[in-house]
């Protein structure tokens, strides 16, 4: 079983819709959590960090549930430009820290 | 600032050939890592390093070697390339080994025939 799992999608949503992605992780010693965005196999770019109390950045909201070991990303008022793959990243500890990626969730926003 | 410099951008190898993918960062980052990305698989961690002289295996280390003789450089070596190593490779670094943003190189498209 992968340490970090995501639904690969694709999620096809109309412009203006709200869409949510979840990501589960298996290592309870995981320290920090992030969402990255990747366009067409280019290098991933940080979208936002995920804090324990939840955090918001414009139309994007991230939540962390340590008890159930998952994080979520909510996108409100979807734009065409939001079409991309969203990667969940977990900073996990096993002797040293390392960053493990989920498989990514593809989002297509349709006009 | 150059950030993370990864070379080459494209490479074609024959089965059994060796090569080194170069990765360098000029941000005094403690943590450096190599990932491969295959369709439907996300990014999988190959090897990583938390400082000069320290390396460790990730999720898919077989067939790859690394070394970290300086803080700046973290080369990835393929000793005997196989078609299963056809992939897109990304180098990434961060200031510390935990709780930090990753900075990525622009990727290497490797094909092994």
Q: For residue A65, what are its two tokens? A: 């549930």
Nearest CA in chain B to A30: B98
B106 contacts on A by Cβ (under 8 Å): 42-43
Task: Grade residue B56 by pLDDT with cuts at 50, 70 and 90.
Answer: very high
Tell me whether residues A100 and B59 touch, CB distance under 8 A: yes
Q: For residue B104, what are its two tokens? A: 């990525």
Which pLDDT score, from 0 to 100, does residue B1 have? 62
Tens digit of each residue's pLDDT (9 = 90 or more) over A50-96: 988 889 999 999 999 999 999 999 999 999 999 999 999 999 888 88
Helical spans, DSSP H, in B36-99: none
Distance CA B58, CA B50 (A): 12
Residue that is written with structure tokens 């498209």 in the block:
B109
Task: Grade residue B41 by pLDDT with cuts at 50, 70 and 90.
Answer: confident
Strands B10-13 and A60-65: unpaired
Please provide the average confidence, as pLDDT, over all residues in chain B: 94
Q: Chain B residues within 8 A (CB-CB) of chain A? A: 31, 33, 35, 37, 40-45, 48, 50, 54, 56, 58-59, 88, 90, 92, 94, 97-99, 101-102, 104-107
């Amino acid at each position: 079983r992968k340490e970090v799992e995501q639904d690969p999608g694709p999620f096809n949503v109309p412009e203006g819709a709200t869409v949510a992605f979840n990501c589960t992780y298996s290592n309870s010693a995981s320290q920090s959590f992030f969402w990255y965005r990747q366009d067409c196999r280019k290098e991933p770019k940080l979208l936002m960090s995920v804090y324990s109390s939840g955090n918001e950045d414009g139309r994007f909201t991230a939540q962390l549930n340590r008890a159930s070991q998952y994080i979520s990303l909510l996108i409100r008022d979807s734009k065409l430009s939001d079409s991309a793959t969203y990667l969940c990243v977990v900073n996990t500890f096993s002797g040293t820290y390392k960053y493990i990626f989920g498989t990514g969730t593809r989002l297509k926003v349709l006009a | 600032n150059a950030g993370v410099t990864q070379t080459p951008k494209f490479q074609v190898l024959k089965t059994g050939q060796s090569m080194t993918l170069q990765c360098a960062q000029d941000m005094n980052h403690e943590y450096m890592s190599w990932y491969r990305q295959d369709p439907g698989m996300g990014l999988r961690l190959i090897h990583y390093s938390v400082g000069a002289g320290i390396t460790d295996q990730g999720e898919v280390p077989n067939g790859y070697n690394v070394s970290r003789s300086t803080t700046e450089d973290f080369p990835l070596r393929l000793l005997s390339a196989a078609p299963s190593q056809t992939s897109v490779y990304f180098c990434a670094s961060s200031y510390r080994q935990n709780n930090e943003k990753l900075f990525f190189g622009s990727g290497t498209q490797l094909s092994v025939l």
